[in-house]
A and B are shown apart, each in its own frame.
Chain A
Amino acid sequence: MENIPQEARTSVRRTLEIEIQELRDALLYLGSMVESQILNSVAALKNRDFDSSRKIIEADLDINRKRYAIEEKVMIAIATQQPMAHDLRLLASILEISGELERMGDYAKGIATINIRMKNDPLLKPLVDIPVMAQKSTSMLHRALTAFIDEDVEVARAIPQEDDEVDYLYDQVYCDLMALIIQDPTTIQRANWLLWTAHNLERVADRVTNICERTIFSATGVMREIETENDKK
């Protein structure tokens, strides 16, 4: 209760405000869980740490549980508090974003699974771009969630532009791996694992864009897709 702002504590809709604040906190917590999962899954892959990957796969259950808890809390708030206008948009957005986060968690779980599946095969090439993609996309995620909590429309509009960078890195990884495959077709399996990993990270960045669109909708009521420079080409 400590982090509930004064206005919420004395508001006419105190019950609803408290519910919303708790949901915001829950969403941030879920977000940080997902961030760790992503970063840890790539680190585990880089270090070929199978234990770590197993833990990551188990931890995904927590993420799912947390997501459903958030969903239920939102449903209850809608049913019992009859939220309107901004409150309603906010709750609907929380619902949507928790779904996005859960899917991002699945991507991290996918990467951990890849690590385990690869077993004792060495990495086809040392991971250079992939860790950068992980850094970039988790940074975007972190800032997007903060923007959602703060209802910062400007920041929310800006973050999706960074998706272009992640896409660029993905293209790099793709080209590098393609070159290796052409050189030696037997590496195709191991290339696939890495390509899939990069693909998961690229999808994380895409989903961050969705979160930003939701932020703008929640704050302004306008639902519009955000176009990046790449999209406009």
Chain B
Amino acid sequence: MTTNYSELLKRGVQTRRLRRKSVNGFMLSLTGILTLLALVPLFWIIGYVIYRGGKTLNLAFFTQLPKPMGMAGGGVLHAIEGSLIVTLMATVLAFVPGVLAAFYAARNPNTPLGIALRFSTDVLSGVPSIVVGLFGYTLIVKPQGHYSAFAGSVALAILMLPTIIRTTEEMLKLVPGALREGSLALGASEWKTSLNVLLPAAMDGVITGVLLAIARAAGETAPLLFTTLGNERFDLGSIIKSGVQNHQGIFQIMGRIFNSPIDSLPLTLWKYAQQPYPERVDQAWGVALILMILVLTINVIARIWIELRKKKLRG
């Protein structure tokens, strides 16, 4: 006798109904609760940092150099300037090689060089940042004989490289191959196609990758320990002023900037948090708040950019 499958199914649907509904409801609630639990650390941290650091934030904090220890007041202008300079320089150093390497890897995934590149990128992204700092120390600080912003930016650039390469490669892969064919069919050479069609098409994604790399680099402390050391008396404004007064060329001024030891936000945080003076500790919290806002903002901007870009591609 042939089984009446539709009857079986209908019965099965009906009898298990209540059980299905209650299990479903339970699982949904469980998932919701666990999600909230996972969010707790994030919001707790954000909340606490705002609480502890909020009170030290004022205009002076952003615009003044630190006062000698023990005295109240002062700011972290040096750290802000330092972070900006080092991160900017690192981006400049890492951007072009990263993008070019990604181009090569995307176009030639199966050549020995392409495979080696991919492998190295993966390995490099796993190297502890403190090791990279040590590398920078050995490579630049020791021979030069002094700590410098330049050494710090080299270390940060090495850290940024894997992110940039990987993101750029992913973005290039997303560019439809049809675009390349269309350009070649018009008589363009491979490199002109890459430069004029593929790179602009992937650019949005590449920039996102760079932004994310910057966000990471901005928060790194360990590599800067061995390379920039820290410098509470760093004052960009006065360097520029004295340079202009002494008729120094722009490259000379820049040289002076990059060759001097420099501070940065995470480094400052690390130092201040360990000091016995309560004002310094409070200021550490303030720096933490600045850092957190900075990183959050960059991430949010990057994500929004990705969404806008997706919408644009969909037409």
Direct contact between the two chains A and B in their complex (CB within 8 A): no
